[in-house]
Structure 1
């Protein structure tokens, strides 16, 4: 049976049961939990340092009202980063290559920022739909354009994360297939392709972490406009 390159993005099944839930829950087991000891382990210390640096970097532009989102943003960042990076391991599944999951994260969080803006400062929230100093004939057109750009934000969030991870995984599989095909015929070329594959894997690991950060960063920027 010939397998498609896109089969790696299908949700794994066991006895007809999708294993999507296990793929979502498993990464949390890998993180150490705080203890009552005075001295933490090196891994716990590194994790705490990373979380503190991330929160400081993310919440500096926000006012005090936006600091309530610190726990959710941090949890979302670690969650997405774990799924993206662990999906690069053999015999694993990357849930964030599914557009449905990414849209399920993007739409509620984006909608929450919009609702907060409408409730706390409705005038400023509506003012984003019409730039100041717009000529009167262009007002209806600009309102329509700004409204479309507002509603396309969650789609851009979900599609960006899905497209970047899907493209990286496909490229890795294509180059790996080429390396295996060239090994019996052109050994030198196969070794060069393997080196390229190794470098591309490192790049994809960096992209996996960066895309998780970009997802949360854009959400914080949307929140900043509405608080």
Structure 2
């Protein structure tokens, strides 16, 4: 019984083909494509407005040289939000509950920010490893600590996204199972549990959106340190 709760986090396959590939491609098919008409329809107008608002929020902590990353950050956040939201539907799979996938997002983007800092301002980038005014005996220890904290950043990005989505999905399944078990024995308690499940689902929708925003926001803060 306990193992079946975690089966939802296993990558499904059909005829030897991993369906996680389908889950990754599906969000892009849901976005309306621009047309050659002068006037856009309501869906495109709403999509463009949403992208503009998200992009303006993401660029707030960045200086002007970092604005060239706007398209990457906005696309990544919309992609993560769509993946997280689609994973809440019945009979679906959430790819972002896989740590390997989240690390595949986090490591290259974090490494790109580090390489950008090393190329554009190597002195300032290396200066982050040693706080100003550090006593001489503590310099080796602080350099080691700051280096470890630097390399932990992509791991923290991937683990944060994976843990929050996994915990929410697991809690929803536990409460839903409890509601079905209690329904024939204690209908009133089952109804109250169902109401709790409804509010928890709303909370999980908010978490799915917030975690995608936090993921990209932290990447933008890492970029700001290196530009």
> One fold, TM greater than 0.5?
yes
Superposed displacement of residue 222, structure 1 = 0.2
Partner of 2:21: 21
Instruction: Give 1:66-145 correspondences, 5 Å limit.
Output: 66-145=66-145
Output the CA distance in 2 between the equivalents of 1:163 and 1:21: 21
* Cα displacement (A) at 1:38: 2.5
Q: By how many angstroms is 1:2 displaced?
A: 8.4
Query: Which residue of structure 1 lines up, in the alignment, with residue 186 of structure 2?
Result: 186
**Structure 1 length normalisation: TM-score?**
0.97
5+ long unaligned stretches in structure 1: none
Matches within 5 A, 1:132-171: 132-171=132-171
Q: Does 1:198 align with 2:198?
A: yes
Q: Deviations over 1:187-216 (max 9, x none)?
A: 000000000000000000010000000000
What does the per-residue CA deviation read over 1:2-51, in whole Å, with 9 as the maximum and x for residues that have no partner?
A: 86110000011112221111010011111111112222222211111111
CA RMSD of aligned residues (A): 1.2
Any stretches of 5+ residues in structure 2 without a counterpart? none
Are the counterparts in 1 of residues 61 and 220 from structure 2 also a CA contact under 8 Å?
no
Question: 58-67 or 170-179: which moved more?
Answer: 58-67
Residue aligning to 1:208: 208
CA distance in 2, matches of 1:164, 1:61: 25
- Higher mean C-alpha deviation, range 72-81 or range 39-48: 39-48
Shift of 1:119: 0.5
Distance verdict in 2 for CA 1:2–1:199, change over 3 Å: closer
SS across alignment from 2:6: helix
Answering whether residue 11 of structure 2 is matched by residue 4 of structure 1, we say: no
TM-score (norm 2): 0.97
Secondary structure of 1:152's counterpart equals helix
Q: Deviations over 1:94-127 (max 9, x none)?
A: 0000000000110000000000000100000000
